[in-house]
Amino acid sequence: MDKVVSSAAQAVRDVPDGASILFGGFGVVQGWPNSLLLALRDRGARDLTVIFNTPGVGPLSAQLLAEAGLIRKVIASFAAYPTRPTPLEEQIKAGKVALLELVPQGTLAERVRAGGAGIPAFYTPTGVGTPVADGKEHRTFGGREYILETALRADYAFIRAHRGDRHGNLVYRRGGRNLHPAFATGARITLAEVDEVVNTGELDPECIVTPGIYVDRVVRTEHPLAVEEIRALSRRFGRAIHVEPRPDLGGLPPDLMARRAALLLRDGEYVNLGLGLPTLLSNYITGERDVILHSENGMLGFGPLAEEGQEDVDLYNASGQLVSMLPGASFFDSVAAHGMARGGRLSTVVLGAFQVSAQGDLANWNVPESGKGGIGGAMDLASGGARVLVVTYHTTRRFQPKLLRRCTYPLTALRCVKEIVTDLAYITVEPEGFVLWELAPGVSLERVKELTDAPLAVAPGVREMQFG
């Protein structure tokens, strides 16, 4: 049973107009089955329904298909990026994409997993009380509300693995596993692009993650990763993602915000760091701390952002930043990663925020006036009962408060936020509302109250922030 085909063009030879296609990967440059993408673009199949975590950016991503005008429908966790325009975003705004369905990242993974397992639907707590729940069946189990999500299947799946054999068995490398194993199961025909093809029997059977029964065609990549180019991109963009300082407010720079938030983590915790500012916390969790970091792409036990020259392109966090690996690390897929979150295995989740209400409601995925939104994994991360610690600037760049009586943006999760570190203050969310405990150096109590659009109680003995 030899499933190896001679070229990517041969692998995509029968993809017709109107096909639905799952694209595995987390959306980072190094995770795309780029040879298959290029071959599909060249084939020119049109009116495609594409399903992925994010369309990615750059020349080797799903943006290829958007540029060629081949996409009709999109099902994704992210479709646009707040800091850069993309071809897919332009197509959506122009009305050339007929349907855009945004799905929480863990729900997306579970819907595809269910489709591959022959399960038509399932109940999940993710999205309850948010726009995601609109129009869906609600049920209560054990006193908690859940919504019904339906399974997802596709005609084709395009995935990438590290090595594959002639039977179609696949192994992945480190954080590069993420959504690929689940997506391999969710299609009628699965195409696997691999860095190396080996003969049957050369893979350790105990290391095989995707058994060949799920894979129909294997092709060796025709566009090997430009490792040094990826490292350079990481150095250029990875350390600066959404962490611009706010000197106009006179508060803390991003590194001190992250340092203060890291001190709130307790020894013995499993902690997830969300996109943007929260990723910086990994730099301030020293080896003496008994804190294990978790990432939605399937890692436990990663460390600080990688030093120049030490970067491994398959070790990246949920923001796509290249990170280091600590002793005791482990790797798994995104289905397991989000199962850990929903199942209550994480004790703290650190997230960014657009808005937080005095009741602890979180809004961090959509800014209506910008027309941009990306659900990502935050809804799943906040649904498992973990303490949610928000790290965010106290206001927008227009000095609009982010801490409000009621959120005005679409919600991510209800009553989940417990603590907030901003560039101006450390605040907790109590039954009576916001309580101020610490002020950033040089910031007055009056200034914080002025920039907080909700009652702000002051704790006895409020003090200046400490960073060590």
- Looking at the structure, do residues 182 and 298 belong to the same domain, yes or no? no
Does a structural domain hold residue 444? Answer: yes
Reported pTM: 0.94
Residue type, 198: V
Residue 378 — left, alpha, or beta (φ > 0 → left; ψ -120 to 50 → alpha)?
alpha
- Looking at the structure, do residues 349 and 221 belong to the same domain, yes or no? no
pLDDT at 280 over 60: yes
- Looking at the structure, do residues 61 and 90 belong to the same domain, yes or no? yes
141-to-120, 288, 360 alpha-carbon distances in Å: 19, 41, 23
| φ/ψ (deg, to 5) at 238 | -65, -35
What confidence score (pLDDT) does residue 234 get? 67
What confidence score (pLDDT) does residue 244 get? 54
Does a structural domain hold residue 176? Answer: yes
What confidence score (pLDDT) does residue 246 get? 57
CATH number where 160 lies? 3.40.1080.10
Containing structural domain, residue 406: 240-464
What confidence score (pLDDT) does residue 60 get? 83
Does a structural domain hold residue 340? Answer: yes
Catalytic residues, which ones? 296
- Looking at the structure, do residues 221 and 279 belong to the same domain, yes or no? no
Higher pLDDT, 87 or 7: 7
Give the burial class of 371: count Cβ atoms within 10 A of its Cβ; 0-12 exposed, 13-18 middle, 19 or more buried.
exposed
* Whole-number average pLDDT of the chain: 93
Task: Using DSSP, state whether 420 is helix, strand or coil.
Answer: strand
Does a structural domain hold residue 132? Answer: yes
Domain total of the chain = 2
Q: Distance between CA 59 and CA 76 in Å, rounded?
A: 19
- Looking at the structure, do residues 78 and 205 belong to the same domain, yes or no? yes
pLDDT (average), residues 180-203: 98
Q: 330-351 pLDDT, tens per residue? A: 999 999 999 999 999 999 999 9
170 touches 210 (CB < 8 A):
yes
Does a structural domain hold residue 344? Answer: yes
With b for 16 or more beta-carbon neighbours within 10 A and e for fewer, the 289-301 pattern comes to eebbbbbbbbbbb
Q: 359-412 pLDDT, tens per residue? A: 999 999 987 776 667 899 999 999 999 999 999 999 998 899 999 999 999 999
With b for 16 or more beta-carbon neighbours within 10 A and e for fewer, the 405-429 pattern comes to eebebbbbbbebbbbbbbbbbbbbb
pLDDT at 257 over 60: yes
- Looking at the structure, do residues 249 and 219 belong to the same domain, yes or no? no
- Looking at the structure, do residues 195 and 274 belong to the same domain, yes or no? no
Task: Using DSSP, state whether 376 is helix, strand or coil.
Answer: coil
pLDDT at 86 over 80: yes
Q: 437-453 pLDDT, tens per residue? A: 999 999 999 999 999 99
Does a structural domain hold residue 232? Answer: no
453-to-103, 398, 407, 448 alpha-carbon distances in Å: 30, 14, 10, 10
Does a structural domain hold residue 1? Answer: no
- Looking at the structure, do residues 220 and 249 belong to the same domain, yes or no? no
Task: Using DSSP, state whether 96 is helix, strand or coil.
Answer: coil
- Considering Cα of 403, then 404, then 409, then 410, what sign does the dihedral take? positive
